[in-house]
Structures are given as structure tokens and as C-alpha cells.
Structure 1
Amino acid sequence: MLSLIVFLPLAAAVALVAVPTSAGRRVFVWSWIAITAADFALVVAAWIGYDAGTGLAYEQNLRWIPSAGVGYHIGLDGLSLPLVAMTALLFLACAVYSLPNTQRIKSFVLLFLFLQTVSLGLFTALDLILFFVYFDLSIVGMYFVIAGWGHGNARQSALKFFLYTFIGSLALLLGFIGLYLAAEPHTFDIVELARANPLAGSGSYGALVLLAIGVGLAVKTPTVPFHTWLPPAHTDAPAAGSAILAGVLLKMGTYGFVRIAMPLLPDTWRHYAVVIVIIGVVSVLYSALVALAQEDFKRMVAYTSVSHMGYIVLAVGAAGILAGSDAQARSLAVTGAVTQMVSHGLLTAALFLLAGIFYDRRRTYDMGAYSGLAGPAPVFAGTTALVAFASFGLPGFSGFIAEFQIFTGSLASATVATALALLGILITAGLFLRVLHRVFLGELQVPDAPGAASGFTDLRPSEATAILPLLGLAIVIGVLPRFLLEVIEPASTTLIGLVSR
């Protein structure tokens, strides 16, 4: 079943290659929606059938390159299942959002179906080389999305994105090879490596392996100072591309920390956990302050995305500090980190789809060019306000559940850092409230049509159908989080047991 979930989009893409472009735009878009809806339904069925207390489920382990210790090993647990579900939902939302798209729609659909398989494959991979293959292919797919359908300096931004993240992936591969060489017998299998703990007491060798893996994952996350590729990539990407880049691809970095770095390098992770915490706090505060200075709505959201990733890095770092904390607190920090991955994916994807509406209507993200939009577009204004409130952690939304767990779990072992990170919430709240006041209140102003009430239309059906369910799920998680937490918590406890060895 799990292989079907992963490869259904790719198989559909191969079938659609044979359909001539002359078949019409609607054939490709509606096929895309049907495929992503079917895949999401399969993920929901997998969630219903998953028993949180059993660890890995839907596991498959086949020989692939046995002479090199590489296998097709996949499975789901409480760390990966929420991200697989979020990924399937976001690709479905992007398919619906793209209904009006007319620009080279066949190629656009094929690329997104390819990206969906790559993304689902990475979150299910239990072999380091399989993980790396998906990691690299995601870079290729997103490069073509930005370069082919972006605007502004799209090709330059796509190239910068590709070079940064590809160099990061090479560092990641070096770290994987370091793990492989340390294991006896040599293997790239994540489960076997976690069980063997081959780098226990390895000193400087383990530090170099963690450095290589950490740099590769930090570039993808991204953390400060490896974040500079992200704002231009987001600003120039199409709305659906930005939603997938922020909602899914960035999680590949943070997921790598909890799936690979922490359980496979527990000694080294504990030794350098304070460094991880510092990087997380710097990312939170620096990116929030830079976001506050932005006039471009999409670029502002990109910087807040880096800030929110910093909370996850803070949590996983704090989970490695044994002094001053207990296992329950460390497990709570990891649970909060995974919940934040899901929450950020839903909310930031919604924000980027909303940002796309600015460009679709008036070809600019400049917030100074708009005001009073709550009049002609009340649903758009209300939805943006709710997503903004959710993004800075207001109670009743998923962001509050995630950040509350992160701060509660991190406070004992990283007290000063956690207190400083709290300022990030204040800054984020201030910048979003400033945006809502400038763009949606006051007298109506839209570019090239000052005072024209008809100059900015409200959410279209395809836009509302794509965005509102993401907001709705964020509210469900904020009010009734148990269905999500009961899946994540046992896996977090297991992870903390591995880190504490």
C-alpha cells in the first residue's frame, strides 16, 4: 500500500505524457486533481489503519544494490505519517488552486506529480541512499518549477536555489558515507544504523559526520546563515511552487534531523546540542526582525518561514541536552517540533497561496501599493487575518499547540535560549498586525486603479476551495489535537530513548 501511495502520482504522470497537449487544459488539471485526491484518500486510509503503539508500519524492505548495502526500505511511524498526510493534502490544495492556470499546463502538472512522488518517497525512506535520491530529485523538480513558471528574476533565483541546496546535498552524502564506513557490517539502512549506533564514542570522526549531515540539512531547512537562497526563490516562484517549497521541501531538512541526525549520532548530538539550540534561536530572532523590515508581502512570509523553522531547530537541540531536563520534557520538545512541521506546512502554504492572489490581481506584492482591501474582498481579508493569527501562535490554532509544546519541553534544558525565542512570537505578531492594518484597512487603494472598488476581486471558488481547508485543519488541530498527538508522541518517546543511550 505504501509504495502505491508514493508512486501513484509518478505513474499517473507517465500516463499523462501520452496525452496530447491539444486535449485541452481541463483534461490535465482535472486529472491532476483526481490523482492527488485519490492519493490523499489512500493516506487517510493508512492513517486510520495505523496503530501508534507498534512503531514502524506498512514496512517494505527489498534488495536494491545489495553489494553496497543499499535497499528499498520504506515504512511509516509517528514521525513520518503526519508529514506524509500533510504532503498529500498540500499537493491536492495546489492542484485545486491551479484550476485557472493556462500557462504550459501539461508540463506544470507533470512536474508537480513528479514532485509529489519525490516528497512522499523521502518521508517514507528508511535507507540513507534512498533518502538522498529523493532529496536530490526534489531540488531538480523545484528548480524547473521556479525557472519555468516564476516571474521577476525567476531563472536567477532558481539557479541560486539549485546551487545552494545541491551543494548542501553533497555535504549530506559525505555524512551518509561516513556513517556507512563506520558500521559493521557496512549498511545504509537507517533502522540497522540506529540499532548499531556505529559512531558511539568516535570523538572527532563523529563530529565531522554530524557537521556534514547538519550542513546539508541546515541548507534545506534553512537556518541562518544558510537561508539566503530562500527569499528570492519564494518571491519569484509561482504561488503553488512557493506553497510546496515552504510547506513540504523545507520539512525535508527538519525531518532529517529527527529521522537521521538524532537517532544515528546520539553521542555527538548530545555533545553539540547547545550549538544547535543557539542556531535555532538566532534563526528565530534574526529572521523575524528582517521580516519586519520587508515591504514585499511574499518576501516577508519567506522570512517568517525561516523564523518558524528556527523553533523546530531549537526544540530538537534542547531535546539533546540531558542536564536540567527529564525524558518527558525532551519528548515533549520533539513532539512540538513535529507538530510545528505540520502546522507550519498548513499555514505557510496557505499564506503563499494568498500571496499569489496579490500577484494574480495586480502583478505586485508591494504592500505599500494596497490598502482598504477588506471592502471589495472581505473573504480574502478575513482569511488572511485568520491565517496570520494562526501563524503567530494564537490559541485555538495549530501554531499554539506546536509552540506551547516546544517552549514547555525546551525551557528546563535551554532556559535562556527559550526565553529569547519567545520574543520571536512578539515580533511576528507585530509584523502581521502591521500588514493587516496597512493592506486591508483604510481607504481603498490598488495599483493602477486608485479608488476603484471593482479593481480587486474577492477569493474565487478554486482559491477558496484550496485555502480554506488548510485553515480549517489548522483550527481542528488547535482545538482537538489528540488525533495528531497520539500518533506523534510514541515515536517521540522512542526517539528520545535512542538519543539518551
Structure 2
Amino acid sequence: MSFPLLTVTTVVPAVGAILTAALPPATNTRSRDRNKVVPLAFSLATLVLACVAIARFQPHGARFQLTENHSWISQFGIGYSVGVDGIAVVLILLTTVLVPFVMLASWHDADPVVDDSGTFERNRRTQGFFALILAVEAMVVLSFEATDVFLFYVFFEAMLIPMYFLIGGFGDRTKGEDAKQRSYAAVKFLLYNLLGGLVMLAAVIGLYTKTHTFDLVSITTSLQNGTLHFSPVVENALFLGFMFAFAVKAPLWPLHTWLPNAMGEATAGVAVLITAVVDKVGTYAMLRFCLQLFPQASKTFAPAILVLSVIGIIYGALLAVGQKDIKRLVAYASISHFGFIILGIFALTSQGQSGATLYMVNHGVSTAAWLLVAGFLMSRRGSRLIADYGGVQKVAPVLAGTFLIGGLAILSLPGLGPFVSEFLVLVGTFERYPALGIVATAGIVLAALYVLVLYQRTMTGPVKPGNEAVGDLKARELVVVAPLIALLLVLGIYPKPITDIVNPSVNQTLSQVGRTDPAPHVVNAIGGGQ
């Protein structure tokens, strides 16, 4: 029996979460830091395992590799079945790369806070915060690995629980109206996603009644060889059930309203976990489950989903321009970026889907870099309001410089990672839906507006009162930011290692949907079309 690499990649953070939660309560700063080293070590071990998985993955080999299949609830056709394609293995690597940086950036986010009288304003088990992060990592990784629909559903829903406590129990505020806002954001996050999950559960049950199995490979094989056939009404209904849940998680306009509240009230590290890690499960599931299980329905509803994606691109960017809160600005910017990702997926072209997958990676890295630097700034000043800042580059030039680079990545500056992915998405969209591609490009202009205006208001000009003591980045913070910026540069200059892994899986997905890229339009020497 071969080594169960994928299972171990999930078990390591899960065991880390349990051991971290079981650590004795810290009594001083030294013991508290020691308790934080344990979860960080488990997250780094998980990253090593993910690197081994991607090294062993053969892009031009079998569709699903490193597979494991074990019977779970045999009478209902439920099994523990895991495997990765090129898209999944890249997103697992993204997740395992970001989690250690989130931990380092959040090193003091759950420490006790003492007011001037010496009374604890916040006294929580610090290790509980890091245990919850590891629990989220384990569930996200298993969601990317699952090739059993029921297994995927269980962890797609289960990850909501630790995220709820991270938002509601470890947010930025602790008292009065701010505590109420944090609780409201956590409950809204949970209810929206539970509603999506309940709709998906009905669709999962409906799928089983037609197929009598939850095995993704068996179902898609039967669809391809013609031994399984859905009526158009049934396929459309099942597709919508799955798509609704994924659109809530993604989030796709108009099901996005939980995200600004959740990101606004979470710590900067948890906000990165939401938008750069957890939300990627929604867009990934569109590729793995919606397109592969329901190919005809995917083509039927693609134009409507593309319209919603373009609305999300423009809507998110416009609202980002008008925000007064830094984290809510990043949240609306992410809604716009998720619009680009979903646009690439449902354009149903190889360039669009390759760009969408690469966009998931680049958005995760760029948002982490931008938002974590913003978190360092907000922790120094104690405010999320843009109006409270100004002239920061004079007192913290390295912080301002890294914030600028992160922002330039967000607006897809050439030479940084997101530019390549956004370009591919737009090219893929233009091939089949040129009008939507033209409208979507407006999101690029608006991104430049909200990024540069934010930088101008916070970093340039005279130093505003209250900002004089804002210090520059410390060693731990540089360890967080520098590798993320380096990764953005590498992905912007040489994305080929990622696209080489992703492209075969994209082509196989398009083949299952029955789509090929439109034939190129050839123009003769005189200027006429042929």
C-alpha cells in the first residue's frame, strides 16, 4: 500500500489543532509564545507535505493522482475517496503557504489586553485561536482533496464552525456596540453559508437518487460514456442547488453581503483566511463539481452567471472606491476579484479557466500581502478608518513601500502575479463573450482608483496627529511580508510552473463539458475577415 500522502496532509493540521487546544493555559508572555510555536510548527509540517504532493504530481498523468479509496458508509455509497488534479494540488499548496504567514502576522492578536487600571478587557485562551486556524486548514485541504461528493459536503459545511468562532470570538472589538457588530457579522456569515449548504444538501440527495453513488469519478465516467443521463429539468435543478452554495461561499453578487461584515469585524489575519483561503473552496467547487457533474446545465446557465460576475466586478470596485474603512475596502475589492475568477470559469475557454485558477492563487497571495500590511498599520494606530491616517510614509517608509507593492498587485500591475491571470481571464472571455469582456475591463480602471486613492490618503502628505508614533515593520512582520512580495514578483515574471500543472486539468474539464475554444478569426491582408 502506498503512503497515504493526502490523508496525512489533512491529519497533520487536525492533530495540531487538537494538541494546541490541549496545551495548558499560558501564565506569562514566555509560555504564551511557546504555545504559539506548536501550531506554527504543525502548519510548516503541512506545508512540507503539500510541497511533496506537488512534486509527486505528474501534470500529464492520470486525471486524479495520489488517490485513496476506502469504504465509509457502504449501504449509501459513501466512501472516503480523495485525489488531486492539477487545480486542486495548486490550491492546496496556496493554502498551506498562507496559513503560516497568517499565524505569524496574528502572533499577538489573541493575547490578553489590559486597560489602564490593570483590568483584563480581553482574556482568552491564546492557543484556542491558533487551534481554530489549524482546524480550518485541515478542512479546507480535505475539501480540495475529496472526490466523494458527500465527503466534500461534510467538510464544506464543517469549516464554518471554526470560522464562526474566529470571527465572533477573536475579532477586533470586545465591548459595547463593537462587540454586537462582531457577533452580528459572525452570525450573518454562518447563516448565509448554512443556507447555501442546506440547498446543496437537497441537491446532493437528489444526485444520489439518480446515481446511487457519491463517487465523482464514477458519475463523470458514466456521463461521458452515456450510461448515465439526466433529464434537462433534473440536471438544471441539481446544478442550481450546487451553484447556489458555491456562489454564497465564493461570494458572487448578489449573495456577497456577508463578506464585508465578516472581514470588517475579523482580525486582519482571519480576514485573509476568509477571502484568500476559505472562499477559494467555492470557486474551486464550481470547476470540480458544477462543470463536471452537470455539463449541459453549466452551458445553459453560463451566460446568466457571466452577467452576475460582471455586475460583481463593477459593483465591488465601485463600493471599494467609496469606503471609509480599510478592511471593508479590501472586502469589496475581493468581491470584484471573485467576479473575475467566476467570469474566467464560466467563459468555458481554456484561457479563461487557466486564468481563473491562476487568479485564485494570485488573489490569495496579493490580498494576503496587502491586508496583512494594512493589519500591521491598523494595530499600531488602533483605527480602521482611512481618515485617521496620512503621512505614514514619512514615519514608516518600509511599511508604506510594502503596502504600495501589495496595492499595485491588487490593481494588476504588469510584472506582478495578478496581471497574468487577469489578462488570461479577459482574453478567454473576449473569445466567446466580447461585450462582457469589454465591460469587465472597467473593473481594472476602478481598481487603480481605489488602490491609489487609498495609498494617497493614508501614506502621503503631512503626518496627521496620532500617526507620529507609527513604527516601521519589525523583523517578524518583514518575515511575513517579504516572501509574499517575492512570490508576487515570481508569479508575475514566470507563472509557467503553475500553468503547466493547471492546464491539463483545465483541458480535461472543458472536454467533459463538451466545449472547445472558438476558432480564431483570421484577417486577410486587405483587412477583410475570413
Q: TM-score range by the shorter chain?
A: over 0.9
AA partner of residue 10 (structure 1): A
Q: Does 1:25 align with 2:32?
A: yes
Q: Classify 1:145/1:199 alpha carbon distance in 2 versus 1 (closer, same or farther; 3 Å).
A: farther
RMSD: 1.4
Alignment partner of 2:363 out of 323, 344, 361:
344
Which whole-Å deviations, capped at 9, do the CAs of 1:444-482 have from their partners, x for residues lacking one? 015xx2xx63x1111122222112212211211110111
Residue 106 of structure 1 corresponds to 127
Counterpart of 1:227 in structure 2 is 256
Relative to structure 1, the CA distance from residue 372 to residue 199 in structure 2 (aligned partners, 3 Å threshold; closer, same or farther) is farther
Helix, strand or coil for the counterpart of 1:294? coil
- Residue 178 of structure 1 aligns to a residue in which SS? helix
Deviation, structure 1 residue 365: 1.1
- The worse-fitting range, judged by mean Cα deviation, of 363-372 and 455-464 is 455-464
State the AA in 1 paired with 2:213.
Answer: T
Q: What letter corresponds to residue 342 of structure 1 in structure 2?
A: V
1:315–1:333 CA contact under 8 A, matched in 2: yes
1:305 matched to 2:334? The reply is yes
Residue 250 of structure 1, aligned match among 253, 262, 279: 279
- For 1:210 and 1:17, the matched residues in 2 are separated by 39
1:187 counterpart residue number: 213
Task: Give the whole-Å Cα distance in 2 for the aligned partners of 1:141 and 1:382.
Answer: 34
Alignment partner, residue 79 of structure 2: 71
CA distance in 2, matches of 1:462, 1:18: 26
SS in 2 for 1:72: strand
- Cα offset, 1:352, TM superposition: 2.2
For residues 463 and 246 of structure 1, what CA distance do their matches in structure 2 show?
20
Structure 1 counterpart of 2:476, one-letter code: S
- Aligned pairs, how many? 484
1:332 aligns with 2:351: yes
Q: Which residue of 2 aligns with 1:140?
A: 161
Q: Does 1:469 align with 2:483?
A: yes
**Structure 1 residue 362 and structure 2 residue 369: aligned?**
no
Deviation at 1:201, TM superposition (A): 5.2
Deviates more, 1:253-262 or 1:356-365: 356-365
- Could you tell me how far apart the structure 2 residues matched to 1:196 and 1:489 are? 24
Aligned twin of 1:174: 202
Name the SS for the 2:87 alignment partner: coil
Percent sequence identity over aligned pairs = 31
Partners of 2:362 and 2:322 in 1: how far apart?
Answer: 25
Superposed CA offset, 1:40-86 (max 9, x none): 11111221221111122111011011111111111111110110000
Helix, strand or coil at the partner of 1:187? coil
Query: Which moved further from structure 2: 338-347 or 359-368?
Result: 359-368
Gaps of 5+ in 2: 113-124, 516-530
- Residue 36 of structure 1 corresponds to 43
CA distance in 1, matches of 2:416, 2:20: 39
Asked if structure 2 preserves the Cα contact closer than 8 Å seen for 1:279 and 1:313, the reply is no
Q: Which residue of 2 aligns with 1:486?
A: 500
In the aligned structure 2, how far is the partner of 1:419 from the partner of 1:174?
A: 37
Q: Which runs of 5+ in 1 are unaligned?
A: 320-329
Q: Residue in 1 aligned with 2:17? A: 13
TM-score by length of 2: 0.89
Q: Which segment is superposed worse, 433-442 or 97-106?
A: 97-106
Determine if contact 1:5/1:42 at 8 Å carries over to the other structure. yes
Match of 1:327 in 2: none
From 63, 82, 95, the counterpart of 2:103: 95
Q: For 2:235 and 2:135, how far apart are their aligned partners in 1? A: 35
CA offsets 1:371-404 (integer angstroms, 9 cap, x no match): 0100111111111111111111111111011011
Matches within 5 A, 1:45-84: 45-54=52-61, 55-84=63-92
Letter in 1 for 2:169: G
Whether the aligned pair in 2 keeps the contact of 1:199 and 1:206 (CA below 8 Å) is no
Give the CA deviation at 1:182: 1.7
